[in-house]
Amino acid sequence: MGENKNFLESLFRSMEVNEVIEKRKCRATGKVRFNTKSEARLFVQWMKWKYQKWLKTPGRRKKSHTKGSGKPQQRYGYSCEHCGGYHVTKEDPHRYNKMKNLYNKKYFG
């Protein structure tokens, strides 16, 4: 487990995320569009890593930041039906599908 953590640490330190991942905007939703689901997942992991590094800076070790404020909430990647790309979201896919089905039953069926 330690070797994997060291590998990710060195990988994230050596890369500039904007050079590795081509990000564009989806015209329909206005969200950042990734070409593949792997790019979206990599971006989520990079955001978590960057937040951990940000917390360790001396000026950020305040009580308000230790409770999770400012922490990136995006954890899931999903495919967009409008642009054909992938986006990141904080919404759990299972909960989203459940709520969507309830909405459809209530208003359409």
Say if residues 20 and 46 touch (Cβ distance below 8 Å).
no
Q: Considering all CA atoms of the chain, what is the largest pairwise distance in Å, rounded to the nearest integer?
A: 56
Where does residue 85 rank: exposed (0-12), middle (13-18), buried (19+ CB within 10 A)?
Answer: buried
pLDDT at site 60: 59
Q: Give tens-digit pLDDT for 5-52.
A: 677 677 667 766 666 666 788 888 888 898 888 888 888 888 888 877
pLDDT at site 109: 73
Torsion of CA 79, 81, 87, 89, to 10 degrees: -90
Q: Which residue has the higher pLDDT, 73 or 104?
A: 104
Question: Stretch 93-98: mean pLDDT, rounded?
Answer: 88
- Domain residues of the chain, as ranges? 2-61+69-108
**0.85 exceeded by pTM:** no
Q: Give tens-digit pLDDT for 55-76.
A: 777 665 555 555 566 677 778 8
44/65 Cα distance (integer angstroms): 19
Spatial neighbors of 43 by CB under 8 A, at least 6 apart, are: 17, 21, 23, 34, 88
pLDDT at site 19: 63
Q: Which residues pair with 34 in a beta bridge?
A: 86
